[in-house]
Every structure is written in structure tokens, then in C-alpha cells.
Amino acid sequence: MTAHATPRRLLEAEREASIERMRALEHDHADIVDAASAANSDDEHDPEGATIAFEREHVASLLDQTRDQLGRVDAALRRLDEGSYGVCERCGQQIAAGRLEARPTATMCIACASQADRHRAPG
């Protein structure tokens, strides 16, 4: 970690960014729902491109992803408070500082994460 980028600062910045993104997406979602209820057209057969339903589902998906990220950040902050932050949940070794700086919510070292990815890949 750099002198200015402590784990807590990185996580708190990520948490704030996630909350701001969530607020913006919730606003966008509400705008789309309002537009759909105000429209008198058949948006499912709009020849102009994406439907309102598609846009609504896309924003809802982004909102779910942002909520998941916020949950990962909160879990990392709990690990930091408990003293287990930066320890691989799989092998128990320290997670490299560079990995934590790039991915502050990482729960596994690179070796274990790579192994887990190989096991998840369809084969």
C-alpha cells in the first residue's frame, strides 16, 4: 500500500462511490418507471431501439451489482476491524499489498483466486 492509500481509506472511498452510484441508479430507475407509466405507446414494439422494459431491467441489474459491491466493501471493513483483513480465506497466507490496493475487497490471494476460477470454469 502507498503511504496515503491505507486499506480503510480505500474501502471507505469505495463504499462512498458505491453509495453514490446506487443513488444515481435508483434515480434513473425511478425516472424510467415514471416514463413507462406516462407513455401511451407500446414500448415492447418500439422500432427506435431499446424498449423501456429493457432499460429498466438493465438499470435494475446495475443496481444489484452495486448493492453486491457495497456488501463486499462492508464485509472487508468488518474484516479490517476484526484483524483478518488481508489474509487469504482459503490458504491463510497474506494477500499481496498490490492486490489489495487494486482490489480492496479481495478475500483470496492471487494463487487461490486463480485456482478457484479454474474450478468454476466450464470444462
How many helices (DSSP H) and strands (DSSP E) are in the chain? 4, 0
Same domain, 73 and 97: no
Same domain, 57 and 114: no
Give pLDDT, residue 36: 74
Same domain, 57 and 8: yes
Domain total for the chain? 2
| Residue 33 phi, psi (nearest 5) | -60, -45
Same domain, 100 and 80: no
Same domain, 48 and 17: yes
Same domain, 12 and 25: yes
In tens, the pLDDT along 22-80 reads: 999 999 999 888 877 776 555 455 555 568 888 999 999 999 999 999 999 999 999 99
Query: pTM of the prediction?
Result: 0.79
In tens, the pLDDT along 78-123 reads: 999 999 999 999 999 999 999 999 999 999 999 999 998 887 756 4
Query: What is the residue range of 76's domain?
Result: 1-85
Residue 10: CB atoms within 10 A of its CB come to 21
Give pLDDT, residue 52: 82
Same domain, 104 and 123: yes
Same domain, 60 and 8: yes
Give pLDDT, residue 4: 60
Same domain, 72 and 90: no
Give pLDDT, residue 84: 96
Same domain, 34 and 73: yes
Q: With CA atoms as reference, report the closest residue to 70 among 7, 13, 4, 6.
A: 13
Same domain, 74 and 107: no
